[in-house]
Chain A
Amino acid sequence: MSLALRLAAQFAMIAVLFAAVAWFSDHPAYRQIPESTAVMMLTFVHGADRRGECRRLTPEEIAKLPPNMRRVQDCPRVRRPIYVELDVDGRNLYRANLPPTGIAGDGPSRVYQRFVLPAGKYDVAVRMRDTARTAGFDHERRDSIDLTPDQLFVIDYRPESGDFIFR
C-alpha cells in the first residue's frame, strides 16, 4: 500500500470513529415524559412551629448563665414536622409528614415531588398543617387548572403570606 493510500485509509478510519462519537453526542433523543403529558410539582421549604413554647427564665436562672450568654427566654430548638396533602380530582396523590431538616431538627421542612399527569383539566387541592393542631389544616388552596402538554405546573408555598402559589 502506498503511503498516500495508507494515510487516506488511516484518516478514513479516524474520521468514521469521530463521526460515530459526534452522532452519539446528541442521538438518540431521550424523552423524559410521555407525549401529551405534563408535570405537576409540589415543592416548598417551610419551617413549622417549634415543638414547645418558650419559657421565661427566672432571675436566678438568668444569673447562673455566663454574663455574655444571658437571655430572658429558653426556647426549644426542635421544630414540628409538617403534614401535607395533595389531591387531584378528589383523589389523593401525595400525603406526608415532612420532618424538619438539620442535625438538631431545627431547620425547615422541605418537599420536592414531581407527578406526571396527562394534559387536561384538573381540580387541585393542597393542604398543610404546621402547628400543634392534630385535626384540620392551617393552610389550604383549591383550584381548577388546565395542564398543557409539557407544562411544568408548580405548587409552591410562601411563608411570608402563608399562601400556596399555583404557577
Chain B
Amino acid sequence: MIGAIRKALRIGFALIEEPFDRLFGPALNPLAQLGALGFFFFWIVAVSGIYLFIFFDTGVERAYQSVEYLTREQWFHAGVMRSFHRYASDLMVVMVVVHLLREFAYDHYRGVRWYSWFTGLPIIWLLYASGITGYWLVWDKLAQYVAIVSSELLDWLPFFGEPIARNFISTGTLTSRFFSLMVFMHVAVPLFLLFIMWVHILRISRPKVNPPRMLALLSLIALLAVSIWKPAISQGPAVLTKVPAQVGLDWFYLPLYPLTSIWSNGTVWALLGAFSLMIGLMPWLPPLRRAKPAEIDLAHCNGCARCAEDCPYEAIRMVGRTDGMPFPTQAQVNPSLCVSCGICVGACPSSTPFRRTQDLRTGIDLPEFSLKELREKVVEVAGGLTGSGRVLVLACEYGAAAGRLEGTVILPCVAMAPPSLIDFVLSRDLADGVAVAGCAESACYNRLGIKWTEQRFAGERDPYLRARVPRERITTIWASALTAKKAEAVISAFAARLATLLPKRLRSPLPVSESSRPAKAREPAKLREEP
C-alpha cells in the first residue's frame, strides 16, 4: 500500500520535474531546492515580521487599527511587507508539504534518514502554531473566527479549567494583555521553529539552506509583484456580538478549521494525532533492508579524508591513528549513519582497479559489493559486449538505466565507481566507451553522487579522472527511472558515435592482468532496441 502510494507520487514528481528541469535547469529547479526555499521564506517572514512589529499596537481596538493603518496609509512599504509576511508564510507551508511528499516519494525517510524525517514533524506543528498565532494579532473577523475555533479546540483538551473560548464571546473579557501574550507567542514559537529547523539538518552533510541566488532573486521579485497585485488585507474588525459568519480562510494554514463544525473537536484532534503518529512511525514501517555499512581497511588507508569529505551522510569521521602507521589520522565509519551508497569507495585513492593483487583491497569498501566484485562484474559484463561501438554502462540503481540487462553494471550510486575504473575499462579495451547513468540531476538519490562524479571527471575533485582518458568515449546520463527510453536513446546514439571514432591508442603502461580479459573480436553493433 505504502509502496504503491510512493510509486504513484514518484511518477507524479518525475512528470512535474522534467518540464521544470527544462525551464530552470537542474541547478535552479525549485523542486530540488524545497528545503532551501523553506529557509528562504522563513527569513522573509522574520524580516517582514520585525518591520511590521514597528507599526503594530497591542490593544483590543488599536491592534486592528494599527494593522489597517500600515495596510492602507503606509501600503507602499508596510503594506507590501504585510503581504510579504502573509504570502511567504503560505509559501513556507507549500514548501514544507511538497518537501515532505517528495522525500516520501523518493524513499528519503527510512534507514539513517529517519532523523531528518522525524524532526520534520515538530517543524510542521510549530509552523502551524506560528501562522495561527499571527492571524489572531490582526483582530479582524478572520482573527475572531480563528480565536474562537482555536480556543474551542484547545478547550477540548483536559488541561484548562475554564473554557478559553469564553474570552471571545463578549466584549469586556478581552484585554490588551491578551495581545501582548499573542505577540510573545508569535515571536517565541517561530524562534523555536528556527531552532528545530537547525536540528532538522544537523545530520545532513552540506545541507542546502540557501537557494541559488538567481532563484532567490526571481522569487523575491515575484513576491513583490504578487504583493502589489493582490495585497494582503484585513476582513473587517472583529465584533464579538456577531458571528464571523463568512470569512476568507487561508487554506494553507486553516484547512482543518471548517472540519470542527462538521466533526467534533475530538475527531479533529484524533485526525491530527493519527497524522502525527503515522509520520512519526513511517521510517520504521515497513523497515528498510539495509546493506552492511562501509568498512575501513587500515592497511590501505592513509588518512587522506577524501571519503569523509565526500560522504553525503556525515557517516565518516577522521580519528587518531590506531595501527601505528606513519599517518596522523584514519577514517572511521559510524554504522548508524552509513547507507552503503559506496561514494566513499569512489573517493578513496586506494580504489584503483589497476592493482594487480589477486585480492583487490582498498581503504574503504562495501562488504556486500566490494571494489573487487565491481571490477569482476565490469570485466564480466564487458566480455559480453560485441560489435563496434561497445558501450559499458555504469548505472545507478535508482536512475534511468537501472532496468538495463545487457552491458550494464548496476551500482548503489554512480559515484561509487572510482574514475580509475573508467580508465581501466578503456585502457584495457574492455569497451569502446563508458556511459555513466545516474539519477535525474535534480533528484540524486544520494544527494551528492552526481555532483561528485562530474567534479571528478572535470578534474575539480579528488580523485581525478586522468587526463589521458579520452573524454569523447565517456558520456553521462542524468535521468530518472521513468525516462528509461530516453536514456536508451542516448546510449544508442553514443554507441553509434563511438563506432565512428578512430581506434583507441590509450593503453595501460601496466601489463594486462588475469582479471581483465582481452576484448572479443569486433562485430557490428548490436544494441538492444526499444520497443
Find out whether the CB atom of B166 lies under 8 angstroms from the CB atom of A112. Answer: yes
Closest beta carbon of chain A to B441's beta carbon, Å: 17
B277 is an interface residue with CB less than 8 A from chain A? no
Chain A residue at minimum C-beta to C-beta distance from B86: A25
Complex interface: chain B residues within 8 A of A17 (CB): 222
Closest beta carbon of chain A to B13's beta carbon, Å: 16
Find out whether the CB atom of A23 lies under 8 angstroms from the CB atom of B23. Answer: no
Chain A binder among B241-249, B411-419, B465-473, B510-518: B241-249
Chain A residue at minimum C-beta to C-beta distance from B231: A22
Q: Which of A9, A43, A152 contacts B163 (CB 8 A)?
A: A43
CA gap between A107 and B161 in the complex, in Å: 8
**A9-32 interface with B by 8 A CB criterion:** 9-11, 13-15, 17-19, 21-27, 29-32
Chain A residue at minimum C-beta to C-beta distance from B152: A112
Interface size on B, residues (CB 8 A): 49
CA gap between A112 and B162 in the complex, in Å: 10
Find out whether the CB atom of B155 lies under 8 angstroms from the CB atom of A112. Answer: yes
Interface size on A, residues (CB 8 A): 42
Q: Which of B145, B169, B221, B242 contacts A43 (CB 8 A)?
A: B169
Chain A residue at minimum C-beta to C-beta distance from B164: A112
Closest beta carbon of chain B to A138's beta carbon, Å: 21
Find out whether the CB atom of A21 lies under 8 angstroms from the CB atom of B230. Answer: no
Find out whether the CB atom of A13 lies under 8 angstroms from the CB atom of B244. Answer: no
Q: Which of B23, B30, B246 contacts A9 (CB 8 A)?
A: B23
Q: Which of A18, A22, A150 contacts B245 (CB 8 A)?
A: A150
Find out whether the CB atom of A33 lies under 8 angstroms from the CB atom of B166. Answer: no
A96 is an interface residue with CB less than 8 A from chain B? no
Closest beta carbon of chain B to A25's beta carbon, Å: 5
B198 is an interface residue with CB less than 8 A from chain A? no
Closest beta carbon of chain B to A15's beta carbon, Å: 4
Complex interface: chain B residues within 8 A of A13 (CB): 23-24
CA gap between A154 and B172 in the complex, in Å: 14
Knowing A15-B226, A22-B87, the reply to whether A30 touches B258 (Cβ < 8 A) is: yes
A98 is an interface residue with CB less than 8 A from chain B? no
Find out whether the CB atom of B248 lies under 8 angstroms from the CB atom of A10. Answer: no
Chain B residue at minimum C-beta to C-beta distance from A34: B245
Most buried by B among A7, A32, A45: A32
Chain B residue at minimum C-beta to C-beta distance from A7: B218
Most buried by B among A25, A38, A154: A25
* A30-47 Cβ-contact flags toward B at 8 Å (1 or 0): 111101001101010100
Knowing A13-B23, A152-B241, A152-B243, the reply to whether A26 touches B249 (Cβ < 8 A) is: yes
B52 is an interface residue with CB less than 8 A from chain A? no
Find out whether the CB atom of B243 lies under 8 angstroms from the CB atom of A31. Answer: no
B500 is an interface residue with CB less than 8 A from chain A? no
CA gap between A112 and B265 in the complex, in Å: 13
B319 is an interface residue with CB less than 8 A from chain A? no
B302 is an interface residue with CB less than 8 A from chain A? no
Complex interface: chain B residues within 8 A of A43 (CB): 163, 165-166, 169
CA gap between A122 and B427 in the complex, in Å: 96
Q: Which of B166, B229, B243, B246 contacts A29 (CB 8 A)?
A: B246
Complex interface: chain B residues within 8 A of A30 (CB): 246-249, 257-258
Complex interface: chain B residues within 8 A of A29 (CB): 246-249
Complex interface: chain A residues within 8 A of B242 (CB): 150-152
A167 is an interface residue with CB less than 8 A from chain B? yes
Closest beta carbon of chain B to A119's beta carbon, Å: 11
B91 is an interface residue with CB less than 8 A from chain A? yes
A99 is an interface residue with CB less than 8 A from chain B? no
Complex interface: chain B residues within 8 A of A22 (CB): 83, 87, 90, 226, 229-230, 232
Find out whether the CB atom of B169 lies under 8 angstroms from the CB atom of A15. Answer: no
Closest beta carbon of chain A to B147's beta carbon, Å: 13
Closest beta carbon of chain B to A28's beta carbon, Å: 8
Find out whether the CB atom of B91 lies under 8 angstroms from the CB atom of A21. Answer: yes
CA gap between A27 and B251 in the complex, in Å: 8
Closest 9 CB pairs of A and B: A26-B248, A15-B222, A14-B222, A30-B249, A31-B246, A150-B245, A18-B226, A112-B163, A18-B222
In the complex, 7 of the A-B residue pairs with CB atoms within 8 angstroms, ordered by the A residue number, are A10-B24, A14-B218, A22-B83, A24-B90, A26-B235, A32-B258, A152-B169
A interface residue numbers (CB < 8 A to B): 6-7, 9-11, 13-15, 17-19, 21-27, 29-33, 35, 38-39, 41, 43, 45, 101-102, 107-108, 110, 112, 149-152, 154, 156, 167
Known: A24-B250, A32-B244, A152-B240. 9 other contacts (CB 8 A): A14-B219, A19-B229, A22-B226, A25-B86, A25-B252, A26-B142, A27-B248, A151-B242, A152-B243
